[in-house]
Every structure is written in C-alpha cells, then in structure tokens.
C-alpha cells in the first residue's frame, strides 16, 4: 500500500519535478527500493522533459542494494506465472 502511494504521488502532475527529486532523495531506503522499478520509466521521461534535461542518476538515482532486493523481495515485482495453471488453482498442490 505504501509503495502504491509513493508511486501515485511521484507521478502526480500537480507537483513540480524538483519537489519530486527532493522527496525521492529523502525517502527511506526501503521505500525507494519498493517503488524504484515501477517508477524508473517515469523518471527517465521526467528527466528528459526538463530544459536542460536532468541526469537521472543525479535526480532519481537507483537505490543501493537493488540487485539483492529484487532477488529477495518477490512480492514487489509479482510472482512468476506458470503455464497451464488456472489462477484459482495456482497455489494449490
């Protein structure tokens, strides 16, 4: 729920990009890790729209430890789909 709120807030056009960049840098690490993959395409677009374009690595850097986070926190990227398994029977043995 918190991840979804962060994503929705960052993508809200009512707030200025500079405010979003400052917020991103001040969010706790875990919150940035939860939201980064969902926001990375938006960050690229937002940085490219600035005049002059912003450096994404300075404005919205990838949080440290993302490789390990992606391996251990599957719930933030969704469970893998298996062929031939109905959604209702997915977790039944």
21/9 Cα distance (integer angstroms)? 12
Predicted TM-score (pTM) of this structure:
0.74
Q: Give the residue among 21, 26, 56 at the shortest CA–CA distance from 41.
A: 56
Longest distance between any two alpha carbons in the chain, whole Å: 55
| pLDDT tens, residue by residue, 4-30 | 999 999 999 999 999 999 999 999 999
pLDDT digits (tens, 9 = 90+) for 26-67: 999 999 999 999 999 999 999 999 999 999 999 999 999 999
The C-alpha atoms of residue 92 and residue 23 are separated, in whole angstroms, by: 42
91 class by beta-carbon count within 10 Å (0-12 exposed, 13-18 middle, 19+ buried):
exposed
Could you tell me the pLDDT band of residue 2, with boundaries at 50, 70 and 90?
confident
**Between 69 and 90, the higher pLDDT residue:** 69
Instruction: Give the domain ranges of the chain.
Output: 2-77
Residues in the chain: 93
């Amino acid at each position: 729920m918190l991840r979804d709120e962060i994503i929705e807030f960052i993508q809200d056009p009512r707030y200025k990009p500079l405010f979003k960049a400052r917020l991103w840098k001040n969010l706790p690490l875990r919150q940035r890790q939860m939201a980064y993959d969902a926001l990375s395409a938006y960050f690229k677009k937002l940085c490219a729209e600035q005049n002059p374009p912003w450096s994404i690595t300075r404005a919205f850097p990838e949080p440290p430890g993302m490789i390990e986070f992606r391996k251990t926190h599957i719930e933030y990227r969704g469970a893998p789909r298996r062929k031939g398994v109905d959604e209702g029977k997915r977790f039944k043995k």
